[in-house]
Each structure stands twice: as C-alpha cells, then as structure tokens.
Amino acid sequence: MSGSTPFKMRLVHLDLKGAPPKVSYLSEIFPLFRALGANGLLIEYEDMFPYEGSLRLLRAKYAYSPSEIKEILHLAGLNELEVIPLVQTFGHMEFVLKHAAFAHLREVGPFPCTLNPHEAESLALVGAMIDQVLELHPGTRWLHVGCDEVYYLGEGEASRRWLQQEQNSTGKLCLSHMRAVASRVQARRPSVTPLVWDDMLRDLPEDQLAASGVPQLVEPVLWDYTADLDVHSKVLLMQKYWRCGFPQLWAASAFKGATGPSQAVPPIKHHLRNHVQWLQVAGSRPTDSLQGIILTGWQRYDHFSVLCELLPAGVPSLAACLQLLLRGGFDGDAKAKVENLLGISNLEMMDPGFLQGGGRLLPWQQHPCPCHTSQPPSAQLCGRAAGGCGWEAGAGEGQPLPPPAEAHPPGHGSAHPAHSTQPPGAVEHPRAGAGGCPTAGFLPGCRGRVAGGERAPQPAAAASSTPWQGRCSGPLRGQLMPGGSCCGLGASALPTVMLHPVAQQCLAHTQFLRALGNPWGRD
C-alpha cells in the first residue's frame, strides 16, 4: 500500500514533564524519527527549560542547560525536524503555581493548575516565560501556548465578581486571556504564530468566537485521541472554525499516554485506529486543509501524576502510526518497514491491557514495589531495568491467566490526560544517573544486556543473577549508554512508573522489555 499523506507536517510530541531523555538519547532517536516519517517536534519543556532570573525556581533539579537546548535544536536541524516549543500559559500550570512565590496567582487557592486571568502579574509571568523560550528558539515559526483544560476557570473570587457583570461569561474570560497571550507573543516576535489546544473553544458560540479577535491571532490544534473518533463531527467542527476566521487548523492524535494514567505499554491497535480516523477527517476536506498533525506522547496526565508509558516503550507505536500516515494505511509492507527500522522480527499488535489487568500477573503485583526503600531511587532502579522489581518471570509459573478486567478510562473519556487532584509531591526526576549506578539501557531494536551491577533486594522468586553479554542489532547499531541511565532516560525515571508486572509470556510485555533492551524481551 502506498499513498500521499494529507498531513504535510508530522510532529512528534516530546512531553518532558516526566522521564525526560538525555541529549545523548535524543541524538540517537532523532534519526529514527526522521526515518519513520516525522518532520517536526513539539517540545513541551515544562520545568526542564533553563529559566533564568526570577523564573529560575521553575527549573527542575536536572533541567536542560541553555547549551543543551541549543544542542537539541542543532540535532533536530541535522535530521530535518522543525521544532515548535510549547509553553503552558493558562491551564496545566502546576509546575509554576506550586511554588509559594506564584501561589497567589492561582485561579482557586487550593489548586495550582489554573492561572488567574484577572491579575496583571499573571500576564507578566507568562510573558516572561514566553520571552525566555523564544530567545532560545530564534528560528521557530510557531509557539504553542497550551490553553487546554483550564479547570476551575470562573470559580476564583475575582472571576465570580467579574461574571456578575452583564454579558460576561467564562467563554469570554477564556478568549480574553488567549487574546492577551497571543498578542504578547506577536509583540515579542511578529513572525511567530501561536498555537492553542482547541478544547476550550469547541463549545463556544460561533458569533462570540468570531468577534473575539482570537481567530486572527492563533491557530487551533484539534485534539482527539480516541479510537472511535467521530469523523463527521470533527469535520463540522473544522467548518465552524473556518467560518469564525481561523486561517489554519492542526490535528493532534496520540501514539502513547492517552489510554490510562498508569499504562505501561501503548495499545498499538488503539492508536492505529485513531490515526485511521484522522486520515478520514483530512481526506474529507480539500488538500492542505490541515496544516499538520501532532502525534502526542504524554508522559504524565499532569505534573503531579505518576508516569505512564515511557518514550522507549512508545517507539513501536509511534513507528506504526507514522507509517500509517505516510502510506494511507497499515498493511504488510508498512509493518515490514517498521520491523526493519526498529530491528525487530515481529511488531506485536496485541493490546497489552496492563491497566485492565490483562496478561498473567505475578504474585507481588498487588504489593508495594520493593524499590520504595530508604535507598536513593536511582540506585534502586538502574539495576532493575534489565529485569528487577518484578520484571523477571519465575514466580507464578504454570498458574492460569486471569480474565481481563473492565477497562478504567481516564476521567475525560480517554481523550486527553485527565486532570488530577493529587496533592503536590516533592519528588525529583533527574535525567542524569546518580553516582554509583552501574547499568545502562538500549535504544529500541537493540539486543543486549548488562553484566553484573548491584541490585536492590528483589522478591526471591523473581531474582536472577545469571550473567550475560550484550550485542546490539538493527539500523541504529545502538551501544550501551554510559552514565547509569535506563534507556537514556534519567536514573530515577522509573521509580514512579507503578508498572503492574506481568509475565514474559505476555506479548505486549515482551515488546516493552525488548524496547528497553531487556533479556526477557529477546526474540
């Protein structure tokens, strides 16, 4: 099967608010993105951006340095990947509003997710963030300013007073802030067009949206991550946006991070169906009706949530989805291309059902992870990436498989990472390996393993001390990565994953381990 894609831009979303990759890992994975069919990146930095001055406290402990940001942009350029940075400016502001210095700018005091749009200091804050991001992205043509899932909007004291005035509404309030932010972007860099997620715009009256001035300033990104996306409704929504005056529209699908807050492996069939539906949406309109598509890969459902699928675990799904977009379908040739590029013998399409309880659960699945001890998380987990913490089979051999349980979709219809009311935590997630961490990981497609290495205590039935040697195969010819990092991710990238371990006989589990270079995932 072959065909031309209706999406001239195909951006891979890098969500850096959980398990952010090292630059060395990005240098290896960017060529693969390009080979698979991507030509751009949407980089959501959150607290990984090297903010300076009064914003320095927004940095995570192991945030990228300015030189690393420049190196990432250089690597992207070498691989013909256009970079669009993303800065949250309204909702999902937890990484900013959790700090005492900015807590007074919350829309509702107890919840750090939404910015108070009435405070002049709020616009000054996001303006300063935008300025610093644009300064390190001198060539960008677009800047994504977020503005999705603005929870509790209108519930703050200032908003309630404002809403009591005649003809005021939460929709008008939302549009006013969007317009102010977009105007700030264009005042700073007239050549840059702001992008916004479209969920806060969908249900607004057409006349209100058209009269707001927002359509002349931003390009909306229509996101829908469901496998049964309603094509007709999406086309009608696009027509509404065009009538309101938006000159360009974008689509957003998902290759991971959209089917469960603690999902471990992306259900590839689900994500392929989502992309098939988006192809139908694009095909129902004239060519170039959509500027491009963003393949989102959420790392957490919000700043305080546990990790869902890690980037290496999502690479097979990303590869399949990109090939589907390029070819107009996913047949045997597309599957073979993915397998060749990833260096794997078979792309397993079984939906893993980790969250739903599919696969054979090991006896300690219901018990606290043994990694949660007094040891530093990085020291505990780095040694476990190759089979510890319940990953190795052994316990429960010969036991029957439990029946799949009913799925538990996220709070917003499985469409987008759901809002979490979990209180802020004080857990750092460093990219750099901690001192003394002996093990390393692999790129997808590698066949290898680490020898030796200290491990934290494991369940007796799961422990394995068999030494083994490693080799890497596939087009990437990946090597063991130095620095004590699991798969090139931060050394403590895994402690909060909260994976539900399953036996190696589960195909999806095996595929996940293979992506991590785990011996139990070998062919």
Q: Which tens digit of pLDDT belongs to each residue from 32-89? A: 999 999 999 999 999 999 999 999 999 999 999 999 999 999 999 999 999 999 999 9
At residue 196, what are phi and psi to the nearest 5 degrees? -135, 145
Q: How many domains does the chain have?
A: 1
| 28 domain residue, yes or no | yes
Q: What is the pLDDT of residue 224?
A: 99
| 479 domain residue, yes or no | no
Domain CATH code at residue 106: 3.20.20.80
For residue range 308-358, list pLDDT tens digits in order: 999 999 999 999 999 999 999 999 999 999 999 999 999 987 654 433 333
Residue 3's pLDDT band (cuts 50, 70, 90):
low
Three-class SS state of 92: coil
Higher pLDDT, residue 224 or 510: 224
Residue 412's pLDDT band (cuts 50, 70, 90):
very low
Residue 266's pLDDT band (cuts 50, 70, 90):
very high
What's the distance, Cα to Cα, between the start and end of the chain in Å? 27
Higher pLDDT, residue 422 or 187: 187
Average pLDDT over residues 149-168: 96
| 187 domain residue, yes or no | yes
Residue-range definition of the domain harbouring residue 74:
10-332
Higher pLDDT, residue 453 or 510: 510
Q: What is the pLDDT of residue 59?
A: 98
| 309 domain residue, yes or no | yes
Q: Give the whole-angstrom CA distance, residue 491 versus residue 116.
A: 36
| 205 domain residue, yes or no | yes
Q: Give the whole-angstrom CA distance, residue 409 versus residue 390.
A: 25
Distances (CA, A) of 177 to 160, 208, 212, 323: 16, 14, 11, 38
The separation between CA 341 and the C-alpha centre of its own chain, rounded to angstroms, equals 22
Q: Catalytic residues, which ones?
A: 149
Whether residue 405 is predicted with pLDDT greater than 90 in this model: the reply is no
In the predicted model, what is the mean pLDDT of the chain? Answer: 75
| 171 domain residue, yes or no | yes
| 426 domain residue, yes or no | no
Taking the CA atoms of 406, 411, 415 and 416 in sequence, report the sign of the dihedral they define: negative
Lowest mean pLDDT among 53-62, 87-96, 155-164, 456-465: 456-465
Q: Give the whole-angstrom CA distance, residue 61 versus residue 54.
A: 16
Whether residue 386 is predicted with pLDDT greater than 80 in this model: the reply is no
Q: Give the whole-angstrom CA distance, residue 200 versus residue 503.
A: 42
Q: What is the pLDDT of residue 249?
A: 98
Give the long-range contacts of residues 242-248, CB within 8 A, separation 24 or more: 243/206, 243/210, 244/206, 244/209, 244/210, 244/215, 245/210, 245/215, 245/216, 246/215, 246/218, 246/219, 246/220, 247/215, 247/219, 248/193, 248/219, 248/291
| 83 domain residue, yes or no | yes
Q: What is the DSSP string of 219-285?
A: EEEEE---TT--HHHHHHHHHHHHHHT-S-EEEEEEEESSS-TT-SS--HHHHHHHHHHHHHHHHTS
